Amino acid sequence: MKKVFTLLVFFLCVFCYANEICNMQGLSYTQRGILEIDGNEDMVNIYVKASKKGTLMQMDSTFGTFCKLGVDNDGAIFLLEAQIPFKEDWVREYVYRDFLIILGIKNFTEDENYIIQFSDLKNLENLDKKIPEKIFIKDKNYSLKLNLLNVKKKQ
């Protein structure tokens, strides 16, 4: 279960590249990737929807929905749901941390137990920002490799 928790955290990838925060706030997008916990891999899909209230995220796997997390534009949680095998504590500690970094609300500090790499930055049409097409997150308990599938909405 610790691996699944770590997987969830991976999914909430942090967006930081060359000392520049990649702000995903205001975007709706889909990511797909591989979550690895203790050598066990599972495919995950992450769905993110932006609204005026804030940003909602849902992580699904072959086991079903792992979690749902909603944060307002200042980073306060307004929705937090965890499904077995994930626990609310995991979502609150790991997924929430990663999600805030991805959205550009929280700064990221890398150390030997927590690494985030962003690659293949691309410009979005009619938007003055770059976003990573690939994200790699490694924590002492898990690793997550994500690929951006599409950006659904620009606000």
Report the CATH number at residue 93.
Answer: 2.50.20
Listed in sequence order, the DSSP H helices in 1-126 are 2-11, 88-90, 96-103
Round the average pLDDT of the chain to a whole number and report it: 78
Per-residue pLDDT, averaged over 75-84, amounts to 93
Per-residue pLDDT, averaged over 17-42, amounts to 72
If phi > 0 it is left, if psi is from -120 to 50 it is alpha, else beta; for residue 22 that is beta
Per-residue pLDDT, averaged over 73-91, amounts to 90
Per-residue pLDDT for 21 more than 80?
no
The conformation of residue 107, written as its DSSP 8-state character, comes to -
Domain with 60 in it:
2-154
Residue 78 has what pLDDT? Answer: 96
Domain count, the chain: 1
